[in-house]
Structure 1
Amino acid sequence: MKNKIRYFLYYYLFPYAGLLLVRLLSATYRIRILDPGNEQNILKAGGRVVYASWHQRFFPGITFFSTRKPIAIMISQSRDGEMAARAVDILGWRAVRGSSSLGGGQALETIKRLARKGYKIGHIVDGPQGPFGVVKPGLIRIAQYADLPIVPVITSGQNRWEFNSWDRFMVPRPFSRVIIRFGVPIHVPKSMGRDEFEQMQEHVTHILQQLYEDTDAFWQDDECIKRFFH
Protein backbone atom coordinates (compact mmCIF):
# COMPACT_ATOMS: atom_id res chain seq x y z
CA MET A 1 0.00 0.00 0.00
CA LYS A 2 2.82 2.42 0.87
CA ASN A 3 4.43 1.83 -2.51
CA LYS A 4 1.13 2.53 -4.27
CA ILE A 5 0.66 5.77 -2.32
CA ARG A 6 4.24 6.83 -3.06
CA TYR A 7 3.76 6.04 -6.75
CA PHE A 8 0.56 8.10 -6.86
CA LEU A 9 2.23 11.05 -5.13
CA TYR A 10 5.40 11.10 -7.24
CA TYR A 11 3.84 10.10 -10.56
CA TYR A 12 0.56 12.00 -10.49
CA LEU A 13 -0.19 14.39 -7.60
CA PHE A 14 3.12 16.25 -7.20
CA PRO A 15 3.91 16.67 -10.93
CA TYR A 16 0.41 17.81 -11.93
CA ALA A 17 -0.07 20.08 -8.91
CA GLY A 18 3.40 21.55 -9.30
CA LEU A 19 2.96 22.29 -12.99
CA LEU A 20 -0.44 23.85 -12.39
CA LEU A 21 1.17 26.24 -9.91
CA VAL A 22 4.03 26.97 -12.34
CA ARG A 23 1.61 27.75 -15.18
CA LEU A 24 -0.61 29.98 -13.05
CA LEU A 25 2.35 31.94 -11.74
CA SER A 26 4.13 32.18 -15.09
CA ALA A 27 0.98 33.52 -16.75
CA THR A 28 1.33 36.69 -14.65
CA TYR A 29 4.92 37.48 -15.71
CA ARG A 30 5.88 40.29 -18.08
CA ILE A 31 8.59 38.54 -20.09
CA ARG A 32 11.00 40.23 -22.49
CA ILE A 33 13.67 38.49 -24.57
CA LEU A 34 17.18 39.97 -24.59
CA ASP A 35 19.61 39.18 -27.44
CA PRO A 36 17.18 36.86 -29.28
CA GLY A 37 19.46 36.73 -32.33
CA ASN A 38 21.96 34.56 -30.46
CA GLU A 39 19.36 31.80 -30.40
CA GLN A 40 17.52 32.52 -33.64
CA ASN A 41 20.64 32.42 -35.81
CA ILE A 42 21.39 28.92 -34.51
CA LEU A 43 17.81 27.75 -35.03
CA LYS A 44 17.74 29.11 -38.59
CA ALA A 45 20.97 27.27 -39.31
CA GLY A 46 19.39 23.91 -38.44
CA GLY A 47 18.21 24.09 -34.85
CA ARG A 48 20.89 21.86 -33.30
CA VAL A 49 21.55 23.34 -29.87
CA VAL A 50 22.01 22.61 -26.17
CA TYR A 51 20.55 25.28 -23.87
CA ALA A 52 22.60 25.80 -20.70
CA SER A 53 21.15 27.26 -17.50
CA TRP A 54 21.84 27.33 -13.77
CA HIS A 55 19.59 25.26 -11.52
CA GLN A 56 18.89 28.39 -9.45
CA ARG A 57 17.18 30.17 -12.33
CA PHE A 58 15.37 27.57 -14.43
CA PHE A 59 11.86 28.32 -13.07
CA PRO A 60 10.84 31.00 -15.63
CA GLY A 61 12.02 28.75 -18.45
CA ILE A 62 9.73 25.84 -17.59
CA THR A 63 6.76 27.16 -19.55
CA PHE A 64 8.76 29.39 -21.91
CA PHE A 65 10.71 26.49 -23.42
CA SER A 66 7.52 24.60 -24.12
CA THR A 67 7.49 26.86 -27.20
CA ARG A 68 10.76 25.25 -28.36
CA LYS A 69 9.51 21.70 -28.85
CA PRO A 70 10.70 19.14 -29.59
CA ILE A 71 13.08 19.45 -26.67
CA ALA A 72 14.79 16.87 -24.48
CA ILE A 73 16.51 17.16 -21.10
CA MET A 74 18.76 14.80 -19.15
CA ILE A 75 17.38 13.91 -15.70
CA SER A 76 19.00 11.77 -13.01
CA GLN A 77 17.73 8.30 -12.14
CA SER A 78 16.97 9.25 -8.52
CA ARG A 79 13.49 9.30 -6.93
CA ASP A 80 13.36 13.10 -7.24
CA GLY A 81 14.44 12.63 -10.84
CA GLU A 82 11.43 10.37 -11.36
CA MET A 83 9.08 13.17 -10.34
CA ALA A 84 10.95 15.67 -12.52
CA ALA A 85 10.83 13.26 -15.46
CA ARG A 86 7.09 12.88 -15.06
CA ALA A 87 6.66 16.67 -15.05
CA VAL A 88 8.78 16.88 -18.19
CA ASP A 89 6.58 14.29 -19.88
CA ILE A 90 3.45 16.25 -18.95
CA LEU A 91 4.99 19.36 -20.50
CA GLY A 92 5.49 17.47 -23.73
CA TRP A 93 9.28 17.39 -23.45
CA ARG A 94 11.41 14.26 -23.68
CA ALA A 95 13.07 13.06 -20.45
CA VAL A 96 16.39 11.24 -20.93
CA ARG A 97 17.26 9.41 -17.72
CA GLY A 98 20.90 9.35 -16.71
CA SER A 99 23.76 11.33 -15.18
CA SER A 100 27.54 11.40 -15.11
CA SER A 101 27.49 8.80 -12.32
CA LEU A 102 24.70 6.49 -13.49
CA GLY A 103 23.50 5.67 -16.98
CA GLY A 104 25.50 8.50 -18.51
CA GLY A 105 26.83 6.66 -21.55
CA GLN A 106 23.41 5.44 -22.66
CA ALA A 107 21.87 8.86 -21.98
CA LEU A 108 24.50 10.57 -24.14
CA GLU A 109 23.79 8.16 -26.96
CA THR A 110 20.06 8.87 -26.69
CA ILE A 111 20.64 12.63 -26.70
CA LYS A 112 22.86 12.35 -29.76
CA ARG A 113 20.17 10.36 -31.58
CA LEU A 114 17.42 12.82 -30.58
CA ALA A 115 19.52 15.82 -31.66
CA ARG A 116 19.93 14.26 -35.09
CA LYS A 117 16.14 13.95 -35.25
CA GLY A 118 15.72 17.68 -34.64
CA TYR A 119 15.35 17.80 -30.87
CA LYS A 120 16.76 20.77 -28.99
CA ILE A 121 18.52 19.80 -25.77
CA GLY A 122 18.16 21.51 -22.40
CA HIS A 123 20.70 21.07 -19.62
CA ILE A 124 20.97 22.34 -16.04
CA VAL A 125 24.71 22.82 -15.76
CA ASP A 126 25.16 22.59 -11.97
CA GLY A 127 22.23 20.36 -10.95
CA PRO A 128 20.86 18.51 -9.22
CA GLN A 129 23.13 18.90 -6.17
CA GLY A 130 25.70 21.55 -7.08
CA PRO A 131 28.12 23.07 -6.35
CA PHE A 132 26.20 26.17 -7.30
CA GLY A 133 27.21 28.07 -10.42
CA VAL A 134 29.87 25.59 -11.53
CA VAL A 135 29.54 23.89 -14.92
CA LYS A 136 29.77 20.14 -14.47
CA PRO A 137 31.35 17.88 -17.10
CA GLY A 138 27.92 16.75 -18.37
CA LEU A 139 27.28 19.90 -20.40
CA ILE A 140 30.65 19.75 -22.17
CA ARG A 141 30.24 16.01 -22.85
CA ILE A 142 26.80 16.55 -24.38
CA ALA A 143 28.03 19.37 -26.62
CA GLN A 144 31.12 17.41 -27.64
CA TYR A 145 29.52 14.00 -28.14
CA ALA A 146 26.39 15.23 -29.95
CA ASP A 147 28.24 18.03 -31.81
CA LEU A 148 25.97 20.78 -30.46
CA PRO A 149 26.66 24.49 -29.88
CA ILE A 150 26.01 25.66 -26.32
CA VAL A 151 23.59 28.59 -26.00
CA PRO A 152 23.60 30.09 -22.48
CA VAL A 153 20.11 30.87 -21.18
CA ILE A 154 19.92 33.55 -18.51
CA THR A 155 16.72 34.31 -16.60
CA SER A 156 16.30 37.18 -14.17
CA GLY A 157 13.24 38.44 -12.31
CA GLN A 158 12.96 41.97 -10.98
CA ASN A 159 11.08 40.84 -7.87
CA ARG A 160 11.73 37.31 -6.68
CA TRP A 161 11.59 34.86 -3.83
CA GLU A 162 14.80 33.18 -2.71
CA PHE A 163 14.60 29.77 -1.06
CA ASN A 164 16.88 28.25 1.55
CA SER A 165 18.29 25.56 -0.73
CA TRP A 166 21.82 24.64 -1.82
CA ASP A 167 21.58 27.05 -4.78
CA ARG A 168 19.32 29.72 -3.21
CA PHE A 169 16.65 28.77 -5.76
CA MET A 170 14.83 31.80 -7.15
CA VAL A 171 11.21 32.20 -8.27
CA PRO A 172 9.93 35.52 -9.67
CA ARG A 173 6.99 36.85 -7.68
CA PRO A 174 3.55 37.21 -9.31
CA PHE A 175 3.41 39.99 -11.96
CA SER A 176 7.18 40.43 -11.88
CA ARG A 177 9.08 41.66 -14.90
CA VAL A 178 11.26 38.83 -16.23
CA ILE A 179 14.17 38.79 -18.67
CA ILE A 180 15.12 35.71 -20.66
CA ARG A 181 18.48 36.32 -22.28
CA PHE A 182 20.37 34.22 -24.81
CA GLY A 183 24.16 34.27 -24.76
CA VAL A 184 26.51 34.01 -27.72
CA PRO A 185 26.77 30.36 -28.87
CA ILE A 186 29.81 28.46 -27.61
CA HIS A 187 31.30 25.82 -29.89
CA VAL A 188 33.09 22.89 -28.24
CA PRO A 189 35.89 21.06 -30.11
CA LYS A 190 35.12 17.42 -30.84
CA SER A 191 38.56 16.36 -29.64
CA MET A 192 40.04 17.65 -26.37
CA GLY A 193 42.59 16.42 -23.91
CA ARG A 194 41.91 16.41 -20.17
CA ASP A 195 43.43 19.86 -19.58
CA GLU A 196 41.57 21.35 -22.55
CA PHE A 197 38.31 19.80 -21.31
CA GLU A 198 38.74 21.35 -17.86
CA GLN A 199 39.65 24.71 -19.41
CA MET A 200 36.45 24.57 -21.45
CA GLN A 201 34.44 23.93 -18.26
CA GLU A 202 36.04 26.95 -16.63
CA HIS A 203 35.49 29.05 -19.75
CA VAL A 204 31.75 28.27 -19.92
CA THR A 205 31.41 28.75 -16.14
CA HIS A 206 32.96 32.20 -16.41
CA ILE A 207 30.71 33.19 -19.33
CA LEU A 208 27.55 32.13 -17.47
CA GLN A 209 28.60 33.91 -14.28
CA GLN A 210 29.33 37.12 -16.16
CA LEU A 211 26.05 36.97 -18.08
CA TYR A 212 24.05 36.48 -14.89
CA GLU A 213 25.81 39.40 -13.17
CA ASP A 214 25.28 41.69 -16.17
CA THR A 215 21.63 40.71 -16.55
CA ASP A 216 20.81 41.16 -12.85
CA ALA A 217 22.44 44.62 -12.99
CA PHE A 218 19.76 45.61 -15.53
CA TRP A 219 17.25 46.10 -12.68
CA GLN A 220 19.38 48.90 -11.21
CA ASP A 221 18.76 51.19 -14.20
CA ASP A 222 15.23 52.63 -14.14
CA GLU A 223 15.55 54.17 -17.62
CA CYS A 224 16.56 50.83 -19.17
CA ILE A 225 13.64 49.12 -17.45
CA LYS A 226 11.17 51.71 -18.79
CA ARG A 227 12.49 51.42 -22.36
CA PHE A 228 12.66 47.64 -22.36
CA PHE A 229 9.25 47.08 -20.77
CA HIS A 230 7.38 50.00 -22.37
Structure 2
Amino acid sequence: MSLRQITRSSWFQHAAGFVASEFLRFVWLTNRFSYDPPDLYAQFEPQMPVVVAFWHGQHFMMPFLKRRHLKAKVLVSRHRDGEINAIAAERLDIGTVRGSGDHGASFHRKGGVAAFKAMLRVLEEGVNMALTADVPKVSRVAGLGVIMLARDSGRPIIPVAIATSRFKRLNNWDRSVINLPFGRGVIATGKSVRVPADADDAAMEALRVQLQDNLNEVTRRAYAIVGRADEADRAG
Protein backbone atom coordinates (compact mmCIF):
# COMPACT_ATOMS: atom_id res chain seq x y z
CA MET A 1 0.00 0.00 0.00
CA SER A 2 1.40 3.39 -1.00
CA LEU A 3 1.73 6.36 1.35
CA ARG A 4 -1.02 8.13 -0.59
CA GLN A 5 -3.37 5.18 -0.13
CA ILE A 6 -2.58 5.07 3.58
CA THR A 7 -3.28 8.78 4.12
CA ARG A 8 -6.57 8.48 2.25
CA SER A 9 -7.74 5.44 4.22
CA SER A 10 -10.58 5.83 6.70
CA TRP A 11 -8.61 4.40 9.62
CA PHE A 12 -5.73 6.85 9.07
CA GLN A 13 -8.06 9.86 8.81
CA HIS A 14 -9.92 8.88 11.98
CA ALA A 15 -6.65 8.32 13.85
CA ALA A 16 -5.27 11.66 12.65
CA GLY A 17 -8.52 13.42 13.59
CA PHE A 18 -8.37 11.88 17.07
CA VAL A 19 -4.76 12.93 17.60
CA ALA A 20 -5.43 16.45 16.29
CA SER A 21 -8.45 16.99 18.54
CA GLU A 22 -6.66 15.74 21.66
CA PHE A 23 -3.58 17.86 20.92
CA LEU A 24 -5.75 20.96 20.49
CA ARG A 25 -7.57 20.16 23.74
CA PHE A 26 -4.17 19.90 25.46
CA VAL A 27 -3.14 23.28 24.02
CA TRP A 28 -6.38 24.84 25.26
CA LEU A 29 -5.96 23.44 28.78
CA THR A 30 -2.28 24.43 29.13
CA ASN A 31 -2.52 28.03 27.93
CA ARG A 32 -3.83 30.90 30.09
CA PHE A 33 -6.61 32.24 27.87
CA SER A 34 -8.24 35.64 28.14
CA TYR A 35 -10.98 37.36 26.14
CA ASP A 36 -10.94 40.66 24.30
CA PRO A 37 -13.25 42.36 24.87
CA PRO A 38 -13.79 40.67 28.26
CA ASP A 39 -17.59 40.70 27.75
CA LEU A 40 -17.54 39.43 24.16
CA TYR A 41 -20.13 36.73 24.86
CA ALA A 42 -22.49 39.21 26.51
CA GLN A 43 -22.13 41.42 23.43
CA PHE A 44 -22.72 38.78 20.78
CA GLU A 45 -25.06 36.19 22.29
CA PRO A 46 -28.10 38.50 21.87
CA GLN A 47 -27.26 38.71 18.14
CA MET A 48 -26.98 34.96 17.60
CA PRO A 49 -27.06 33.09 15.34
CA VAL A 50 -24.08 34.80 13.76
CA VAL A 51 -21.62 34.17 10.95
CA VAL A 52 -18.18 33.69 12.51
CA ALA A 53 -15.37 34.66 10.12
CA PHE A 54 -11.64 34.03 10.55
CA TRP A 55 -8.52 33.71 8.43
CA HIS A 56 -7.51 30.36 6.99
CA GLY A 57 -4.46 29.04 8.78
CA GLN A 58 -5.65 30.62 12.04
CA HIS A 59 -8.44 28.09 12.44
CA PHE A 60 -7.12 25.29 14.63
CA MET A 61 -8.26 26.69 18.00
CA MET A 62 -11.63 27.96 16.73
CA PRO A 63 -13.65 25.08 18.29
CA PHE A 64 -12.86 26.56 21.69
CA LEU A 65 -14.72 29.75 20.84
CA LYS A 66 -17.95 27.81 21.36
CA ARG A 67 -19.35 27.59 24.86
CA ARG A 68 -21.06 24.42 26.00
CA HIS A 69 -24.60 25.84 25.78
CA LEU A 70 -24.12 27.27 22.28
CA LYS A 71 -24.55 25.48 18.97
CA ALA A 72 -22.17 25.93 16.05
CA LYS A 73 -21.12 24.38 12.77
CA VAL A 74 -18.08 25.01 10.59
CA LEU A 75 -17.55 24.81 6.84
CA VAL A 76 -14.95 22.13 6.01
CA SER A 77 -13.66 21.30 2.54
CA ARG A 78 -14.23 17.94 0.87
CA HIS A 79 -10.48 17.46 0.42
CA ARG A 80 -8.89 14.53 2.28
CA ASP A 81 -7.23 16.99 4.69
CA GLY A 82 -10.71 18.38 5.27
CA GLU A 83 -11.87 14.95 6.39
CA ILE A 84 -9.29 14.99 9.19
CA ASN A 85 -10.36 18.51 10.15
CA ALA A 86 -14.02 17.45 10.17
CA ILE A 87 -13.33 14.47 12.44
CA ALA A 88 -11.34 16.67 14.82
CA ALA A 89 -14.04 19.38 14.85
CA GLU A 90 -16.82 16.90 15.59
CA ARG A 91 -14.80 15.40 18.44
CA LEU A 92 -14.62 18.94 19.84
CA ASP A 93 -18.43 19.29 19.65
CA ILE A 94 -18.58 21.34 16.44
CA GLY A 95 -20.89 20.22 13.65
CA THR A 96 -19.71 20.39 10.05
CA VAL A 97 -20.96 21.47 6.65
CA ARG A 98 -18.90 19.97 3.83
CA GLY A 99 -18.07 21.92 0.71
CA SER A 100 -16.20 24.90 -0.65
CA GLY A 101 -16.48 28.55 0.29
CA ASP A 102 -15.12 29.46 -3.15
CA HIS A 103 -17.44 31.45 -5.41
CA GLY A 104 -15.20 31.21 -8.46
CA ALA A 105 -15.18 28.81 -11.39
CA SER A 106 -14.88 25.73 -9.16
CA PHE A 107 -17.89 26.65 -7.01
CA HIS A 108 -20.17 23.96 -8.45
CA ARG A 109 -17.47 21.28 -8.75
CA LYS A 110 -16.47 21.62 -5.10
CA GLY A 111 -20.03 21.43 -3.76
CA GLY A 112 -20.22 25.14 -3.13
CA VAL A 113 -23.89 25.55 -4.05
CA ALA A 114 -25.03 22.74 -1.77
CA ALA A 115 -22.78 23.97 1.03
CA PHE A 116 -24.07 27.53 0.71
CA LYS A 117 -27.69 26.34 0.97
CA ALA A 118 -26.74 24.14 3.93
CA MET A 119 -25.15 27.09 5.73
CA LEU A 120 -28.29 29.15 5.21
CA ARG A 121 -30.34 26.33 6.76
CA VAL A 122 -27.94 26.15 9.71
CA LEU A 123 -28.46 29.85 10.43
CA GLU A 124 -32.24 29.56 9.93
CA GLU A 125 -32.20 26.83 12.61
CA GLY A 126 -30.58 29.21 15.08
CA VAL A 127 -27.11 27.65 14.90
CA ASN A 128 -23.97 29.76 14.54
CA MET A 129 -22.04 29.20 11.29
CA ALA A 130 -18.25 29.53 11.13
CA LEU A 131 -16.09 29.71 8.00
CA THR A 132 -12.81 31.08 6.73
CA ALA A 133 -13.06 34.39 4.92
CA ASP A 134 -10.09 34.02 2.55
CA VAL A 135 -10.35 33.50 -1.17
CA PRO A 136 -9.10 29.89 -1.61
CA LYS A 137 -5.32 29.77 -2.02
CA VAL A 138 -5.06 33.56 -1.57
CA SER A 139 -4.13 34.36 2.00
CA ARG A 140 -5.64 37.35 3.84
CA VAL A 141 -7.89 38.42 0.98
CA ALA A 142 -11.54 38.14 1.96
CA GLY A 143 -13.86 36.63 -0.61
CA LEU A 144 -17.47 37.50 -1.36
CA GLY A 145 -18.77 34.14 -0.12
CA VAL A 146 -19.07 35.15 3.52
CA ILE A 147 -20.58 38.51 2.49
CA MET A 148 -23.20 36.70 0.37
CA LEU A 149 -24.02 34.39 3.29
CA ALA A 150 -24.59 37.37 5.60
CA ARG A 151 -26.73 39.14 3.00
CA ASP A 152 -28.94 36.15 2.25
CA SER A 153 -29.30 35.07 5.90
CA GLY A 154 -29.65 38.54 7.42
CA ARG A 155 -27.17 37.57 10.16
CA PRO A 156 -24.16 39.67 11.26
CA ILE A 157 -20.56 38.65 10.61
CA ILE A 158 -18.31 38.50 13.67
CA PRO A 159 -14.56 38.62 12.87
CA VAL A 160 -12.60 36.40 15.28
CA ALA A 161 -8.93 35.74 15.95
CA ILE A 162 -7.42 33.29 18.42
CA ALA A 163 -3.71 33.65 19.18
CA THR A 164 -1.24 31.94 21.49
CA SER A 165 2.14 33.24 22.55
CA ARG A 166 3.81 29.96 21.58
CA PHE A 167 3.27 28.58 18.10
CA LYS A 168 4.89 27.22 14.96
CA ARG A 169 4.14 28.99 11.69
CA LEU A 170 4.22 26.81 8.58
CA ASN A 171 5.67 27.96 5.27
CA ASN A 172 2.53 27.38 3.19
CA TRP A 173 0.06 29.56 1.30
CA ASP A 174 -2.07 30.43 4.34
CA ARG A 175 0.79 30.77 6.84
CA SER A 176 -0.85 28.15 9.05
CA VAL A 177 -0.20 28.51 12.77
CA ILE A 178 0.21 25.40 14.91
CA ASN A 179 -0.60 26.58 18.42
CA LEU A 180 1.61 25.17 21.18
CA PRO A 181 1.00 24.53 24.90
CA PHE A 182 2.30 26.30 28.01
CA GLY A 183 1.85 29.93 27.08
CA ARG A 184 -0.73 32.71 26.93
CA GLY A 185 -3.75 32.79 24.68
CA VAL A 186 -6.56 35.14 23.71
CA ILE A 187 -9.89 34.92 21.94
CA ALA A 188 -10.54 38.30 20.33
CA THR A 189 -13.46 39.63 18.34
CA GLY A 190 -13.56 42.58 15.98
CA LYS A 191 -16.22 44.95 14.76
CA SER A 192 -19.24 43.13 13.34
CA VAL A 193 -20.30 43.58 9.72
CA ARG A 194 -23.94 43.63 8.62
CA VAL A 195 -24.90 43.24 4.98
CA PRO A 196 -28.25 44.72 3.86
CA ALA A 197 -30.54 42.39 1.92
CA ASP A 198 -30.59 44.85 -0.98
CA ALA A 199 -26.81 45.39 -1.14
CA ASP A 200 -25.68 45.90 -4.74
CA ASP A 201 -22.30 44.95 -6.21
CA ALA A 202 -20.61 48.15 -5.08
CA ALA A 203 -21.92 47.79 -1.53
CA MET A 204 -20.91 44.12 -1.42
CA GLU A 205 -17.36 45.01 -2.45
CA ALA A 206 -17.15 47.79 0.13
CA LEU A 207 -18.32 45.41 2.86
CA ARG A 208 -15.87 42.75 1.69
CA VAL A 209 -13.02 45.23 2.15
CA GLN A 210 -14.43 46.27 5.52
CA LEU A 211 -14.49 42.65 6.71
CA GLN A 212 -10.94 42.14 5.44
CA ASP A 213 -9.74 45.22 7.35
CA ASN A 214 -11.62 44.16 10.50
CA LEU A 215 -10.09 40.67 10.38
CA ASN A 216 -6.60 42.07 9.93
CA GLU A 217 -7.12 44.46 12.84
CA VAL A 218 -8.41 41.82 15.26
CA THR A 219 -5.67 39.37 14.26
CA ARG A 220 -2.93 41.96 14.87
CA ARG A 221 -4.56 42.89 18.18
CA ALA A 222 -4.72 39.26 19.30
CA TYR A 223 -1.00 38.74 18.73
CA ALA A 224 -0.15 41.99 20.50
CA ILE A 225 -2.24 40.93 23.53
CA VAL A 226 -0.30 37.67 23.97
CA GLY A 227 3.00 39.52 23.83
CA ARG A 228 3.89 38.69 20.25
CA ALA A 229 4.02 42.19 18.82
CA ASP A 230 6.75 40.84 16.53
CA GLU A 231 4.03 38.81 14.82
CA ALA A 232 1.31 41.47 14.86
CA ASP A 233 2.19 42.96 11.47
CA ARG A 234 2.78 39.57 9.84
CA ALA A 235 -0.50 38.22 11.18
CA GLY A 236 -2.81 40.49 9.28
Query: Which TM-score bucket, shorter chain as reference?
Result: 0.7 to 0.9
TM-score under structure 2 normalisation?
Answer: 0.82
Deviation of 1:71 (Å): 0.5
Query: Does structure 1 conserve the Cα–Cα contact (< 8 Å) formed by 2:51 and 2:129?
Result: yes
Deviation of 1:66 (Å): 5.6
Query: Does structure 2 conserve the Cα–Cα contact (< 8 Å) formed by 1:57 and 1:169?
Result: yes
Give 1:181's aligned amino acid. Answer: A
- 1: CA distance, partners of 2:68 / 2:137: 28
Give 1:26's aligned amino acid. Answer: W
- Given candidates 7, 11, 19, the residue that maps to 2:21 is 19
- 2: CA distance, partners of 1:72 / 1:214: 25
SS in 2 for 1:56: coil
**Mean Cα deviation higher: 33-42 or 111-120:** 33-42
Q: Where in structure 2 are the equivalents of 1:116-195 lying within 5 Å?
A: 116-126=124-134, 129-195=136-202
- 2: CA distance, partners of 1:77 / 1:24: 27
Q: Which runs of 5+ in 1 are unaligned?
A: 223-230
Deviation of 1:220 (Å): 5.2
Deviation string 1:175-213 (CA, Å, 9 cap, x unpaired) is 111111111221111122223222211111011112222
Deviation of 1:140 (Å): 0.9
Q: Where in structure 2 are the equivalents of 1:3-152 lying within 5 Å?
A: 6-10=9-13, 12-45=14-47, 47-65=48-66, 67=68, 69-99=70-100, 100=102, 101=107, 102-126=110-134, 129-152=136-159
Change beyond 3 A, Cα 1:94–1:173 = closer
- 2: CA distance, partners of 1:8 / 1:125: 31
Deviation string 1:146-176 (CA, Å, 9 cap, x unpaired) is 2110111122222322222222222333211
Query: Does structure 2 conserve the Cα–Cα contact (< 8 Å) formed by 1:32 and 1:180?
Result: yes
Deviation of 1:9 (Å): 1.0
RMSD: 2.5
Q: Which runs of 5+ in 2 are unaligned?
A: 230-236
* Identity of matched residues, %: 23
Structure number with higher helix proportion: 1
Query: Does structure 1 conserve the Cα–Cα contact (< 8 Å) formed by 2:161 and 2:188?
Result: yes
Deviation string 1:116-172 (CA, Å, 9 cap, x unpaired) is 222111111127x43111112221122112211011112222232222222222233
Query: Does structure 2 conserve the Cα–Cα contact (< 8 Å) formed by 1:66 and 1:91?
Result: no
Query: Does structure 2 conserve the Cα–Cα contact (< 8 Å) formed by 1:155 and 1:178?
Result: yes
Change beyond 3 A, Cα 1:176–1:70 = same
Deviation of 1:92 (Å): 2.4
- 2: CA distance, partners of 1:92 / 1:221: 30
Q: Looking at both structures, which has the greater relative contact order when contacts are Cα pairs under 8 Å and sequence separation is at least 6?
A: 1
- 2: CA distance, partners of 1:221 / 1:8: 38
Deviation of 1:43 (Å): 1.1
Deviation of 1:39 (Å): 4.2
